[in-house]
Amino acid sequence: MIEERFDAIVVGAGMAGNAAALTMAKRGMKVLQLERGEYSGSKNVQGAILYADMLEKLIPEFREEAPLERHLVEQRFWMLDDKSHVGLHYKSDDFNEEKPNRYTIIRAQFDKWFSSKVKEAGATVLCETTVTELAQDAYGKVIGVKTDRRDGEIHADVVVLAEGVNGLLGTRAGLRDRPKPENVALAVKEMHFLPRETIEARFNLKGDEGAVIEAAGTISRGMTGMGFIYSNKECISLGIGCLVSDFQKTGETPYGLLERFKQHPSVAPLIEGSEVKEYSAHLIPEGGYNAIPQLCGDGWVVVGDAAQLNNAIHREGSNLAMTSGRIAAEAIFQVKSRRDPMTKENLALYKKMLEESFVIKDLKKYKDMPALLHNQSQNFFLTYPQLVSKAMQNFVRVDGTPKKEKESSMLRSFVNARSWTGLFGDAFKFARAWR
Amino acid sequence: MSTDVAVRVEDKLFYNRYQVDPGRAHIKVRPHTTPSPQLKALLKACPARCYELNDSGQVEITVDGCIECGTCRVIGEASGDIEWSYPRGGYGVLFKFG
Ligand SMILES: Cc1cc2nc3c(=O)[nH]c(=O)nc-3n(C[C@H](O)[C@H](O)[C@H](O)COP(=O)(O)OP(=O)(O)OC[C@H]3O[C@@H](n4cnc5c(N)ncnc54)[C@H](O)[C@@H]3O)c2cc1C
Ligand code: SF4
């Protein structure tokens, strides 16, 4: 057993763990952070869009040092059927500001840098160490962790579980259930390398400007899912994710979906001639507010993806992870400063502070969305994209059909596919879930 | 586009770097005679195609290409079909980009 005792042990060096370890170390606490990867980032997969605001709260000068790819000036949403896309594009020169709001990043590189800040702040970071179990006393209070190193039990006043979406340790210790297939999406992703100028020409970008595309429609074959195409400096991140329960039900393969997405006529020209350098996969929590587990207990708190804090509608996760990590650390520091024990009651301060933040407020706002999209996936991801594409084609194709006839045939195709009650019902449910 | 595209997952995994831990598989399939629906689902759902049907109709796993996503755990751990852990510290997939 390692005799040394710590104020806090942080399990995981992803976005949430790094934010928590940094915050506590900066406050002078004695922090040990354990990470199973070769270095922080070597196991982590993301799109990846970084939201500046949440990182700024932790490292105000990050823009000067962090490995950032491109600042985003354009967001595109595409609704796809097999051959077409209907798009909504928003590009603004306002985003070419002194302190841009969103950047693309490459997680393995970004996390490594983030971790260097954690070490600078004075935390002990131990990589290549898998935590296998939580150490608990006879009353179930968490008193430390067990690792796969020899003599691997280490003790601390509190353990911050920042172990990511799988949350294995929490499940093993009976603190929460394992994620359910309908509450997590499996995303697969590839990194496509191209010369910088080619990327800039294909996405219509100047210098370090970046653009991102979110795509939904028939590419997910009626499953609840989305594709993404993000521009980095010298590569394009491209991927697609769908609910695990849908994969289970349909027997679709993740790589099959990815390949079809790449071959879509709107997508293929963007990556033509690229060199692929990595293929990765990762789960994304999609259960929303209703899937959030217990956030704290005697001797522990859980943060980030492990607490299922992820806003799938807006593709926000790392910012919720960073914020929950920081808030948990601040709460722990307050409890410690009062010399109070790390009991469930005292650590509930974290829960209270999180509820007052955007993290829980946003998740609450969309609490009915996951169920709606899940139960209606055929309509939202297959029928509507096909109908909208057909309507657009009907609208732009000039073929001598009188406009009035065109309009009524368009309407008929919607009603035939979904019925009036279906259409109104969907619109109503969607509006209510969005509210 | 509705026709299925042939994909060789092995080619995709070839891009990746791994530190294989010989003789220590981090995932195990429970011995069985006929595979459960969960095990059958893994043949398709695993993004690295680690699960294969052997000649006598049982599902087997080879963990060398595993990208540690956890999908098979979410599908097959609750029913006891598989036992799932992370690889030992430092082993397994080593993402350069992620
Ligand atoms: C394809 C994809 C695209 C995404 N796009 C975006 C996006 O554009 N913007 C956004 O904000 N979010 C995005 N997300 C979500 C975002 O990646 C996550 O919300 C975020 O990474 C969560 O951070 P975390 O620290 O909680 O978990 P992670 O980043 O997963 O970190 C967990 C860490 O814990 C370590 N660990 C786990 N178990 C153990 C153990 N037992 N012992 C030791 N170490 C352990 C892991 O190795 C890892 O380093 C995306 C996710 C995916 C999969
Ligand atoms: S963890 Fe993911 S990649 Fe590894 S065997 Fe399971 S499903 Fe396949």
**DSSP 8-state assignment for residue A74:** E
Same domain, A32 and A151: yes
Task: Say if A355 falls within a structural domain.
Answer: yes
Same domain, A252 and A381: no
Task: Say if B53 falls within a structural domain.
Answer: yes
Task: Say if A74 falls within a structural domain.
Answer: no
The CA B67 to ligand 2 mean position distance, Å, reads: 6
Give dist(CA A409, CA A386) in Å, integer. 15
Domain region containing B51: 9-94
Q: Which of A365, A394, A410 is the last residue of a domain?
A: A365
Looking up tokens 């751990």 gives B77
Q: What value, to the nearest 5°, has the Cα angle with vertex A179 and ends A173 and A180?
A: 135
Question: Does residue A305 contact residue A380 with C-beta atoms inside 8 Å?
Answer: no
Same domain, A187 and A227: yes
Task: Say if B35 falls within a structural domain.
Answer: yes
Same domain, A54 and A144: yes
* Buried residues in B52-70 as b, exposed as e (16+ CB within 10 A): eeeeeeebebebebbbbbb
User: Domain tally for chain B?
Assistant: 1
Give dist(CA A47, CA A239) in Å, integer. 8
Name the residue of A146, A282, A305, A327 to mutate for ligand 1: max ligand atoms within 8 A of Cβ. A305
Task: Say if A203 falls within a structural domain.
Answer: yes
E strand map for A62-221: 71-80, 85-91, 102-104, 124-126, 131-136, 142-147, 153-161, 184-193, 209-217
Same domain, A328 and A397: no
ipTM of the complex: 0.95
Same domain, A44 and A167: yes
Q: Which residues contact A380 (CB under 8 A, 6 or more apart)?
A: A216, A224, A373, A426
Give dist(CA A422, CA A288) in Å, integer. 25
Task: Say if B2 falls within a structural domain.
Answer: no
Same domain, A39 and A132: yes
Which bound ligand lies closest to the C-alpha atom of A226?
A: 1
Task: Say if A213 falls within a structural domain.
Answer: yes
Q: Which of A365, A398, A423 is the last residue of a domain?
A: A365
Please indicate whether, in this complex, the C-beta atoms of A36 and B67 are within 8 angstroms of each other: no
Please indicate whether, in this complex, the C-beta atoms of A255 and B71 are within 8 angstroms of each other: no
Give dist(CA A229, CA A213) in Å, integer. 5
For the record, the structure tokens of A128 come out as 């290549």
Same domain, A139 and A276: no
Gap between the terminal Cα atoms of chain A: 53
Question: Does residue A21 contact residue A125 with C-beta atoms inside 8 Å?
Answer: yes
Task: Say if B33 falls within a structural domain.
Answer: yes
Task: Say if B4 falls within a structural domain.
Answer: no
Query: Domain with B78 in it: what CATH number?
Result: 3.30.70.20
Per-residue CA distances from A275 to A105, A365, A389 (Å):
19, 41, 31
Task: Say if A23 falls within a structural domain.
Answer: yes
Ligand 2: list residues with CB < 6 Å: B 27, 46-48, 50, 66-72
Task: Say if A86 falls within a structural domain.
Answer: no
pTM: 0.94
Q: What value, to the nearest 5°, has the Cα angle with vertex A196 and ends A194 and A198?
A: 65
Residue nearest to atom 6 of ligand 2 (CA): B72
- C-beta neighbour count of A329 within 10 angstroms: 28
Task: Verify whether ligand 1 is closer than 6 Å to residue A45 (CB atom).
Answer: yes
Looking up tokens 């059927």 gives A81
One pLDDT digit (tens) per residue for chain A, 435 residues: 567 899 999 999 999 999 999 999 999 999 999 999 999 999 999 999 999 999 999 999 999 999 999 999 999 999 999 999 988 999 999 999 999 999 999 999 999 999 999 999 999 999 999 999 999 999 999 999 999 998 779 999 999 999 999 999 999 999 999 999 999 999 999 999 999 999 999 999 999 999 999 999 999 988 988 999 999 999 999 999 999 999 999 999 999 999 999 999 999 999 999 999 999 999 999 999 999 999 999 999 999 999 999 998 888 999 999 999 999 999 999 999 999 999 999 999 999 999 999 999 999 999 988 888 888 888 888 888 888 888 888 888 888 888 888 888 888 888 888 888 888 788 777 777 777
User: Domain tally for chain A?
Assistant: 3
For the record, the structure tokens of A12 come out as 């995981």
Q: Which residue of A has its CA nearest to B1?
A: A82
Domain region containing A302: 5-69+105-177+293-365
